[in-house]
Amino acid sequence: MITLNNVSKKFLWKKAVHNMDVHFSKGKIIGVIGENGSGKSTMFKLIAGLLKPTNGEVLVGEKLADRKVSATVAYMSDIDQFYPFFNAAQLIDYYESQFSDFDRQKAMDILSFMKVDGDEKIKHLSKGNRGRVKMAVTLARNAPYILLDEPFSGLDPMVRSSIVQGVIQYLDLDRQTLIITTHEINEIEPLLDEVVVLKEGTVLAQGNIDEIRRNHQMNLVDWMKRLYEGEKLT
């Protein structure tokens, strides 16, 4: 499990995350949604140990998140940070050298599941195929926690659905937990067990998808809109 206890993160005067309390239980797929600037990416960097909280604590399992947390957290950033001159095979070699939980065969399987040519250099790949390669190396880690920050951003519907299917096929929910941020809410709703809604750096709500549907007879987008509007009214 991952727990944020009263976490705040300030960048100079700006509060990116403010008194955030949230708990992610194991063996689930959890979506983190909210408007731009609501703190999603900052929350992920805090969990991945890439940022230190200004206040509060971030626990991954039993341990405080720091740089070493990367051994148990596979974090996929929303920006392309790979060497452009690598091809997929070289990227796989590199990942294998960095992460002891990296499963080479799984990476190859995912690439072929997503129909990507592993010989092409990353800089020559289309944006869609770069997105697929990024997913393949991230999902190929047998890490207990996987964080995907905006995996669908700028990708066409075919790539998005092949990524969703790759997640379903290769994620092992008996041993892994996946947390994902996206604005493509309708598309990932069936993939999620739970959702956390962020606004202005705090948690507006957390809920189970099927309970939201049962209790409110509405899908995730409508529920989120109502939460946002309710906030504005008060």
Residues that bind another protein (CB under 8 A): 27-29, 161, 164-165, 168-169, 171, 173, 189-193, 209-211, 213-214, 217-219, 222
Minimum Å gap between C-beta 73 and another protein is 20
Task: Output the six-digit token pair for 36.
Answer: 């731009």
Cβ-contact 57, 5 below 8 angstroms: yes
Instruction: Identify the CA nearest to 76 among candidates 155, 2, 146, 164.
Output: 146
The CB-of-6 to another protein minimum distance in angstroms stands at 29
Q: Cα separation of 41 and 123, whole Å?
A: 25
Place of tokens 């604590």: 57
Give me the least distance between CB of 194 and another protein, in Å please: 10
Q: Which is nearer to another protein, 46 or 188 (CB)?
A: 188
Looking at this protein, which amino acid is placed at residue 139?
Answer: L
Identity of residue 230: G
Which CB, 151 or 201, lies closer to another protein?
A: 151
Nearer residue to another protein within complex by CB, 57 or 211: 211
Least Cβ distance, residue 183 to another protein (angstroms): 18
Nearer to another protein by Cβ, of 15 and 213: the residue is 213
Question: Cα(129)–Cα(154) distance, rounded to whole angstroms?
Answer: 12
Q: Which of 191, 204 has the CB closer to another protein? A: 191
Measured from the CB of residue 218, what is the shortest distance to another protein in angstroms?
A: 6
Closest separation between CB of residue 214 and another protein, Å? 5
* Whole-angstrom distance, CA of residue 127 vs CA of residue 120: 13
Beta-bridge partners for 193 = none
CB 204 within 8 A of CB 197: yes
Residue 59 vs 171, nearer CB to another protein: 171
| C-alpha closest to that of 134 among 42, 60, 31, 149 | 149
